[in-house]
């Protein structure tokens, strides 16, 4: 009987206290630059993620994507966006990366605070995300001019013109 009671309390801790096993091979990352012309996907996701929703202090997100995988369904535009110096300059800056500095629980889900690096320019950003339907789903808003992509930094940096959506299934 004692063994049964111990198992009853141990099993839920084992199930919920473990790290989420993310299926990064089937992750989907999309972006929208505020118009219908520049929407697309980006791949080549490489990650080092430890995400334990019961132990956020010891959780971390480190991820990068490959600029050469960026696609908008228009090959000529894709080539320009990937490689032109005024855009992502993929030849000199082949990856975009994010590394969390802390992750906290919020009223609506979770918030990863961290650093986003595009074209060797690193800025502090917030990545709100939820865990729903066996997926981690996040949505980040940035201003591309801050990273010297698609123009200059706006006077009011609180404005944004790009939305990045991330969806990672859990195995």
Does residue 35 lie within any of the structural domains? yes
What are the pLDDT digits (tens) for 15-48?
Answer: 344 577 888 889 999 988 765 557 889 998 998 8
d(CA 31, CA 163): 6
Cβ neighbour number for residue 151 with a 10 Å cutoff: 12
Report helix, strand or coil for 144.
helix
* Enclosing domain of residue 81: 19-169
Does 4 reside within a domain?
A: no
| Residue 86 confidence (pLDDT) | 82
Residue 107, domain member (yes or no): yes
Q: Confirm whether 8 is domain-assigned.
A: no
Domain presence at residue 12: no
Residue 11 lies in a domain: no
Mind spelling out the 3-state secondary structure of 11-47? HHHHHHCCCCCECHHHCEEEEECCCCCCEEECCCCEE
Distances (CA, A) of 70 to 7, 41, 76, 123: 48, 6, 12, 21
Question: Tell me, what CATH number does 36's domain have?
Answer: 2.40.128.110
Give the Cα separation of 152 and 38 in Å (integer): 17
Residue 78 pLDDT: 87
| 14 within a domain of the structure (yes/no) | no
1-10, 96-105, 131-140, 151-160: which is most confident? 96-105
Q: What is the pLDDT of residues 47-84, one digit of tens each?
A: 888 889 889 999 999 999 999 998 888 888 888 888 88
- pTM of the full predicted structure? 0.81
Proportion of the chain above pLDDT 70, given as a percent: 81
Cα–Cα distance, 71 to 39 (Å, whole number): 8
pLDDT at 157: 58
């Amino acid at each position: 009987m004692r063994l049964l009671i111990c198992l009853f309390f141990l099993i839920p801790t084992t199930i919920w206290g473990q790290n989420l096993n993310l299926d990064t091979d089937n992750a989907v990352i999309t972006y929208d630059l505020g118009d219908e012309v520049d929407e697309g996907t980006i791949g080549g996701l490489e990650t080092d993620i430890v995400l334990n929703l019961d132990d956020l202090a010891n959780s971390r997100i480190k991820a990068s994507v490959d600029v050469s995988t960026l696609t908008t369904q228009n090959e000529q535009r894709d080539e320009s966006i990937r490689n032109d110096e005024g855009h992502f300059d993929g030849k000199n800056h082949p990856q975009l990366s994010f590394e969390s500095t802390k992750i906290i629980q919020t009223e609506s889900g979770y918030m990863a605070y961290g650093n986003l690096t595009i074209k060797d320019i690193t800025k502090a950003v917030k990545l709100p995300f939820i865990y729903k339907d066996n997926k981690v789903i996040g949505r980040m808003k940035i201003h591309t001019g801050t990273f010297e992509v698609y123009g200059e930094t706006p006077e009011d940096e609180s404005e944004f013109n790009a939305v990045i959506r991330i969806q990672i299934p859990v195995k």
